[in-house]
Structure 1
Amino acid sequence: MTDLTNPPTDDVIELKTKKRWPRGAKIAAAVVLVAAIAGGVTYAKVSHEDKPFGTTLTVATWSTDVAAERLLKFVNDQVAPAHGVTIDPVKIDNIIEINRAVDAGTIAGNFFEHQPFLNDAIAANGFKLTLAAPTFTWDQATYSDKYRSWAQVPDGAKIALRDDPAGQAIALLDLAYDKQITLKPGKDTLAGLPQLSDIATNPKGYRFVQVPIGQLARSLPDVDAIVVHISDVYSAGLTENQIIAREPAPKGSEGGLVVSDRHLADPNVQKLIETFKDPKIAQFLKTTDDQLIRNTLGPLT
């Protein structure tokens, strides 16, 4: 067994891609349209940042996050009417453009990210966005097609995790929670945003494969395990019997409604924010019979 007391070296970390979202600004520059799948609507990159919103406000989810999409439907049907607004839900397929649409004022908000992920998007693109209403937590899990527990995972196994800084940090915290690695002092919380270089010990000599978020589910046959938000891979068909460990969502990784700073004073945006702060949402997450939501999202504590 290998005890790594120094940062992992290249023979430990296998880079499947050198791109680290969202610093690949070339991708953002190349995309000139936001594809909103729902209703066949297409959101052009046209700024409407000074235009106030009406009482019907468009809120986007990421196109693969089925649980957030269903939760948004509950919020619209059961919570929003009491706050005097209607939510027009759309799905956007590009994780850079979903923030760009909010920043431009093309849509009122999005419902797909936590603060560390948003921090990366702001740093890379100069967005002026706020996580105005943390609403839920994402359940975490480790999946494998080859093993049924961490005890079965062999020395030198390939472990895939997200290549963006926020997603990678959460996966490493999951691995530390499962006692598969340890992290350097000050890097053992989400605020420390641990990256692969912050691994202090790696007793089984795992080799880490960095994979873009949309490719994690497809990478499972090529690795021994993947560590991920369950919602990231649910729509790709991964199932409960492939999970070898569940991990709690780290503090600071709460997801919720993101809006533009420019529209924080808009009365209808304020109504939207209050909608997503309504305690009915937490109660629904605790009691819903929708197993997809129960298996992937949790209430704020």
Structure 2
Amino acid sequence: MRKNIKLTAAATATAALALGLSACGTASDPAATSESGAKADESKALVVAASPTPHADILNFVKDNLAKKAGLNLEVREFTDYVLPNTATQQGQADANFFQHKPYLDDFNKKNKTTIVPVVNVHLEPLGLYSKKAKDLAAVKAGQTIAVPNDTTNEGRALALLADNGLITLKDGAGTDAKLSDIKDAKGLKFKELEAATLPRALNDVDAAVINGNYAIEAELEPATDSLVLEKAEGNPYANFLAVKEGNEKDARVQKLAKLLNSPEVKKYIEDTYNGSVVPAFGPAQ
């Protein structure tokens, strides 16, 4: 049986985190046994906090097919929001996490005074615009409402996607942290800001929504075929990576997992499983 747990965001993140982790009841509870850096006991499980799809799926592929041969004891814990994985890693309840890209991490560290650092890039999940009402981009017209993620970096990314495809015009100089106030010309469109995880469920209530790749896949959407428009992978700064609390980069278990996540076996798994909806983006994380 996989030692996975699924948690949702609660009003008090720390309390929810403590409750979820204590409910695990395993002897390898990282709150009691975690060690840091190169001195970590290699025989102990490396606990990785991850979004369910595709992150936990990729990690479980590694766990089931590659980890034992590499001498890695890997435990995957699933989280369904974008806050608790970093909180768990910073506080030591998880040794690493796998769910985010660099712009999001930079913003999170700044706002929360955390010290999470990237280790190795693994894949890219292209952001897409989806609709149950419009059959193509031309059908998105003035007066309609588009839902976008409400976190800083993913909202900026969503607005860039809309601007790149002519649906809006952004003010000069609007960067990756663009906000609704940076829209120079909305071309009659209205916008609704929602938590990223809730966007697929909102498709019945809005005319279109910009949805992160992992949440689209979880909702049984096929980004490569169901989106009205999809982010281009080339030159994209939003590769998702394995991350740890600063100082733990040289943990031998982390280094083993980083190598496995950039292996030919994982590349093939991603390509065969996701058919272009998730694409490999291997290499050192900056």
TM-score (norm 2): 0.80
166-175 or 27-36, which moves further after superposition? 27-36
2:240 maps to 1:255: yes
Does the Cα contact within 8 Å between 2:137 and 2:229 map onto a contact in 1? yes
Q: 1:169 aligns with which of 153, 156, 171?
A: 156
Note if 1:271 corresponds to 2:256: yes
CA, structure 1 residues 160+40, in 2 after alignment: closer, same or farther (shift >3 Å)?
Answer: farther
Could you tell me whether the CA contact under 8 Å between 2:121 and 2:239 is conserved in 1?
yes
Shift of 1:197: 1.9
Post-superposition shift, 1:112?
A: 0.8
Once the two structures are superposed, the pairs formed by residues 1-301 of structure 1 within 5 Å of their partners are 27-33=12-18, 35=20, 48=34, 50=36, 52-55=40-43, 56-62=45-51, 65-81=52-68, 83-188=70-175, 190=176, 193-202=177-186, 204-238=187-221, 242-249=226-233, 251-286=236-271, 288=272, 290=273, 293-300=274-281
**Cα deviation digits, residues 179-199 of structure 1 (max 9, x gap):** 2123233325x3xx2222222
Specify which structure has the bigger relative contact order, considering alpha-carbon pairs within 8 angstroms and separated by 6 or more residues.
1
The answer to whether the 8 Å contact 1:35/1:93 transfers is: no
Deviation track 1:199-258 (CA, whole Å, cap 9, x = no partner) reads 2333x2211110012221121111110011132133234456753222225721100211
What is the Cα-based RMSD across aligned positions, in Å?
3.2
Q: Which moved more, 1:117-126 or 1:127-136?
A: 117-126
Change (3 A) 1:40 1:94: farther
Give structure 2 stretches of 5+ with no counterpart.
Answer: 1-8
Distance across 1 between alignment mates of 2:31 and 2:82: 14
The alignment-based identity, stated in percent, is 27
Query: Is the 8 Å Cα contact of residues 34 and 43 (structure 1) preserved in structure 2?
Result: no
Give the superposition deviation at 1:165.
Answer: 0.5
How big is the shift at 1:135? 0.6
Provide the C-alpha distance between the structure 2 equivalents of 1:76 and 1:91, rounded to a whole number of angstroms. 14
Report the Cα distance in structure 2 between the residues aligned to 1:44 and 1:54, rounded to whole angstroms.
Answer: 13
Counterparts of 2:136 and 2:25, CA distance in 1: 43
Relative to structure 2, which stretch is displaced further, 26-35 or 42-51? Answer: 42-51
- Give per-residue Cα distances to partners, 1:166-189, cap 9 Å, x unaligned: 11011112112212123233325x
- Closer, same or farther in 2 for the Cα pair 1:109/1:117, shift >3 Å? same
Distance 2:72 2:49 in 1: 15
The worse-fitting range, judged by mean Cα deviation, of 254-263 and 273-282 is 273-282
Q: Distance in 2 between matches of 1:156 and 1:26?
A: 34
Q: Unaligned 5+ residue runs, structure 1?
A: 1-23
Q: Alpha-carbon deviations, 1:250-290, whole Å to 9, x = none? A: 7211002111113123222222233333354334433x1x2
Count of aligned positions: 268
Q: Secondary structure at the match of 2:199?
A: helix
Do 1:47 and 1:106's aligned partners in 2 also have CA atoms closer than 8 Å? no
3-state SS in 1 of match to 2:267: helix
CA distance, structure 2, for counterparts of residue 157 and residue 205 of structure 1:
8
- What SS class does the counterpart of residue 31 from structure 1 fall into? helix
The alignment's TM-score, normalised by the length of structure 1, stands at 0.76
Deviations 1:3-22 (A, max 9, x none): xxxxxxxxxxxxxxxxxxxx
Alpha-carbon distance in structure 2 between the residues aligned to 1:38 and 1:234? 28
Paired with 2:280 and 2:201, the residues of 1 have a C-alpha distance of 29
